[in-house]
Amino acid sequence: MSLISVENLSLDIYGTPILRDVSFDIAQGKVFGLVGESGSGKSMTSLALMKLLPDGARRSGRAVIDGRDLFALDEAAMCAIRGNQIGMIFQEPMTALNPVQTIGDQVAETLVVHGVAKRAEALAIAREKLDRVGLDGARFPLDRYPHELSGGQRQRVCIAMAVALRPRLLIADEPTTALDVTTQAQILDLLRGLVEEEGMSLLMITHDLAVVSGLADHVAVMQEGRIVEQGPTEELFRTRAHDYTQRLFAASAHRPAREPTVTDEILLTVEDARRSYALPRRSLFGTAPKLEAVRGVSFTLRKGESLGLVGESGCGKSTLTRAILGLEDLQGGSIRLFDREPVKPGMANALRAGLQVVFQDPYGSFNPRWKVSRLVAEPFHLMPHPPADARDRVNDALVEVGLRPDDADKYIHEFSGGQRQRIAIARALINRPDLIVLDEAVSALDVRVRAQILDLLARLQETHGLGYLFISHDLHVVRAITDRVMVMKAGEIVETGETEAVFANPQHPYTRQLIAATPTIPAQWQMQEHA
């Protein structure tokens, strides 16, 4: 039986078309997955259901729940429905809670504003709800503030808030995208459990096909404001009737064709690297406690090799990366390129020239006031004199990454996220370094663009004999592009090995936990026509 039916939902914001004829039904007690790339309109669909659209939005169509059309209700009636009939959680748990109010009050508020309970009683119910979402009273009393909680814990508070009144529909808009894989697995389990126990329906919005495959009963695929295909999850995943669905599928399972030529020559040597930070002191006179971010890491990377480094946030990989880039001092151990002087801040330019980097954020990686020609040429600073053929080399680098020479005269805002990542790669290549550090370099990209960038990286590695240190939280990507992989936890490398061997037969319990937590599309669903 269907709980809510959305019929012909269309939406414009200040005249820009956002949604066109979106129709779907969500069945009672079932999970409905809405997948699509960024900008496909999936979040706007959910905000339209809540009638929380931004200014300038014009909407048409119907959303019927219990015979009532939500879109025909006035604001007061809608307030009575939000939080009561329909609950919602959002992507960014770090900012979704009011920083100056305790978690108890925020959960209790749902009950108070709907007149279900007075504050004291509401707090008692809030306690139960927090217990239900896995925040026990001993460690998470009601008077905790959001800043004292981790991202995953905050998302649990958001869930407790959204389900406090046992709504019939819960909308979850990318609820695990900002979280680590193990936390993601726990939150997904929690959502699955709530759906079963409370009999509520869940509208799960995500860009991640693997996440919906393991959770949703029904799936709809969105592209440019339209639903291009929908149906029961397994059936849709197996048949992939629509061309766009096929391409999404192919891209998310994409593995670039690699024929690595790993040499025996050692390019990077990290020996017993250590780095700790002083934390704020707990008492007035005690010594400051230390956070040991990197605790004795050693490894080598060979010329032409692609080495992965995986770990969750806070494991120390960022600190280690900064040290390898020579941006931060170590407190113990050493980092060397070949057998030259140690890598450290203030090292000679000639030494630095062997090393380049591509960062995660395609939008923050470029000075917006410089033209591409100057951006790409920036590493020439490392040479004693700028080369005479600098402009030609910039053009060559742009062509190599799949852009045109006349792109050099444009500013960065004229490019898309994927193109910017290509420019970042061109910049990293311009000095012909030996090692490129790829710091979550494809994490911010949509799957199809990501597949293209991975192909580009694989090709460049072969033609230039580059060494890659590929840092990522995404196990799929690391598996697709690396020869060996290291798993980092709490400042230490807990497991190292050939990538395929580690994934097929993980030795360390943490590696197993990571692999188990990573959502995957069941292999048998993918059998036919593997692209």
Q: Judged by CB, which is closer to another protein: 369, or 530? A: 369
- Binding another protein (rule: CB under 8 A), the pick from 9, 50, 268, 456 is 50
- Residue 147 Cβ, how far from another protein at the closest point, in Å? 5
153-172 residues near another protein, rule: CB under 8 A? 158, 161-162
Q: Judged by CB, which is closer to another protein: 119, or 247? A: 119
CB neighbour list of residue 461: distance below 8 Å, 6 or more residues apart = 258, 260, 304, 306, 468
- What is the DSSP track for 95-135? TSS-TTS-HHHHHHHHHHHTTSS-HHHHHHHHHHHHHHTT-
- Binding another protein (rule: CB under 8 A), the pick from 326, 354, 418, 491 is 326
* Of 43, 42, 39, nearest in space to 416 by CA: 39
- Binding another protein (rule: CB under 8 A), the pick from 8, 28, 60, 95 is 95
Tokens of 206: 């995500």
Instruction: Return the range that interacts with another protein (CB under 8 A); candidates 140-148, 252-260, 478-486, 507-515.
Output: 140-148
Q: How many CB atoms are closer than 10 A to CB 260? A: 16
Instruction: Return the range that interacts with another protein (CB under 8 A); candidates 32-40, 319-327, 329-337, 513-521.
Output: 319-327
Q: Is 339 helix (H, G, I), strand (E, B) or coil?
A: coil
For position 382 contacting another protein by CB under 8 A, the verdict is: yes
Radius of gyration of the chain (CA): 25
Q: Judged by CB, which is closer to another protein: 96, or 478? A: 96
- Residue 28 Cβ, how far from another protein at the closest point, in Å? 21
Q: Judged by CB, which is closer to another protein: 75, or 264? A: 75
For position 325 contacting another protein by CB under 8 A, the verdict is: yes
Nearest-angstrom CA–CA distance, 485 and 306 = 9
Tokens of 243: 């061309």
Q: Are 474 and 329 in contact (CB under 8 A)?
A: no
Q: How many helices (H) and strands (E) does the chain have?
A: 18, 19
- What is the DSSP track for 195-233? HHHH--EEEEEES-HHHHHTT-SEEEEEETTEEEEEEEH
- Binding another protein (rule: CB under 8 A), the pick from 27, 113, 390, 494 is 113
- Residue 365 Cβ, how far from another protein at the closest point, in Å? 4
Tokens of 124: 């008692």
For position 82 contacting another protein by CB under 8 A, the verdict is: yes
- Residue 76 Cβ, how far from another protein at the closest point, in Å? 7
Phi/psi region, residue 134 (left: phi>0; alpha: psi -120 to 50; beta: rest), is left
For position 390 contacting another protein by CB under 8 A, the verdict is: no
Instruction: Return the range that interacts with another protein (CB under 8 A); candidates 37-45, 324-332, 472-480, 491-499.
Output: 324-332
From residue 215, give the alpha-carbon distance in Å to each of 206, 295, 528: 11, 38, 22
Nearest-angstrom CA–CA distance, 49 and 81 = 11
Phi, psi at 463, each rounded to 5°: -70, -30
For position 151 contacting another protein by CB under 8 A, the verdict is: no
Q: Is 166 helix (H, G, I), strand (E, B) or coil?
A: coil
Q: Judged by CB, which is closer to another protein: 424, or 521? A: 424
For position 98 contacting another protein by CB under 8 A, the verdict is: yes
- Binding another protein (rule: CB under 8 A), the pick from 104, 151, 354, 379 is 379
Q: Where are the alpha helices (DSSP H) in 369-464?
A: 372-377, 390-400, 417-429, 447-464
- Residue 509 Cβ, how far from another protein at the closest point, in Å? 33
- Residue 111 Cβ, how far from another protein at the closest point, in Å? 10
402-461 residues near another protein, rule: CB under 8 A? 424, 427
For position 49 contacting another protein by CB under 8 A, the verdict is: no
Q: In degrees to the nearest 10, what's the CA dihedral of 457, 459, 462, 463? A: -110
For position 368 contacting another protein by CB under 8 A, the verdict is: yes
For position 88 contacting another protein by CB under 8 A, the verdict is: yes
Q: Judged by CB, which is closer to another protein: 155, or 499? A: 155
Q: Judged by CB, which is closer to another protein: 92, or 234? A: 92
Sheet with 16-27, edge to edge strand ranges: 16-27, 2-13, 57-65, 68-69
Beta bridge partners of 468: 306, 436
- Binding another protein (rule: CB under 8 A), the pick from 65, 355, 480, 493 is 355
* Of 245, 348, 343, nearest in space to 301 by CA: 343
- Binding another protein (rule: CB under 8 A), the pick from 83, 104, 175, 308 is 83
For position 393 contacting another protein by CB under 8 A, the verdict is: no
Q: Judged by CB, which is closer to another protein: 20, or 144? A: 144
For position 359 contacting another protein by CB under 8 A, the verdict is: yes
C-alpha distance across the termini of the chain, in Å: 37
Q: Which helix (H) or strand (E) holds 182?
A: helix 181-198
For position 81 contacting another protein by CB under 8 A, the verdict is: yes
- Residue 383 Cβ, how far from another protein at the closest point, in Å? 9
For position 360 contacting another protein by CB under 8 A, the verdict is: yes
Tokens of 55: 């200014």
Amino acid at 456: L
For position 175 contacting another protein by CB under 8 A, the verdict is: no
Q: Judged by CB, which is closer to another protein: 100, or 523? A: 100
Tokens of 497: 């090995």
Residues making contact with another protein (CB under 8 A): 14, 50, 52, 54-56, 75-76, 79-84, 87-88, 90, 92, 95-101, 109-110, 113-114, 145, 147-148, 158, 161-162, 280, 284, 325-327, 349, 352-353, 355-357, 359-361, 364-369, 378-379, 381-382, 424, 427
